[in-house]
Structure 1
Amino acid sequence: MGSGAERSSDSAFWKELYEAALFEFDSQQLPERIAVAEKAVTERRRELTENGGDRQEEQEALDDALFGLSALRKIAESRRPIQSQSSQAERRLDDLKTGT
């Protein structure tokens, strides 16, 4: 297995991390998965820019991935307060049911 530097130049590596973020169901782990994927995508974009060459298709995929990760981050952040409010509402409902 290669080092992190070798792996970052592999287009499959950033895709694996991107998919791991997309399919992460644990809301506690999701922010970290997103951050790791964003770092890998950004690093790959930098490598492609420095090395030149005709990699337009991968460049577009990287741009799409960053957009998707940004949207996923916003969704995850917007759900945190809702989950907290939902828990508070459930507790109040339980209190009303028990008469406390």
Structure 2
Amino acid sequence: MRRLRYDKNIKGVSYKTSLAPDESFKSVMFAKRGKLNETLLPKLAYLKSNPIREEKKQHLIDILPYISESLWDFYRNFKTEKDTVDTYPNVSSSEDDEN
């Protein structure tokens, strides 16, 4: 695509694939056969927040001076549980037994 044009009245985007002035715009509509697609929100992965280990939260609190202050409350408000176990992707159970 070389040019994009948005028109809120038609609920779509027009585009050109070249900069040639004689090429007409093609359109992509955001509606499905007369219905607006209003279900663009992702489904929740969890019903409640997952707690982290207290030690991990403390490490996050320790690095707050190195991140944007606007994010501090996000990290400070993590819920913790003493017995929470960290899980890592692609780790076999035999490796878990060795650690």
TM range (shorter): under 0.3
Q: Which has the higher contact order (CA 8 A, sep 6+)?
A: 1
Tell me the TM-score normalized by structure 2: 0.27
Q: Taking structure 1 as the reference length, what is the TM-score of the superposition?
A: 0.26
Structure with higher Rg: it is 2
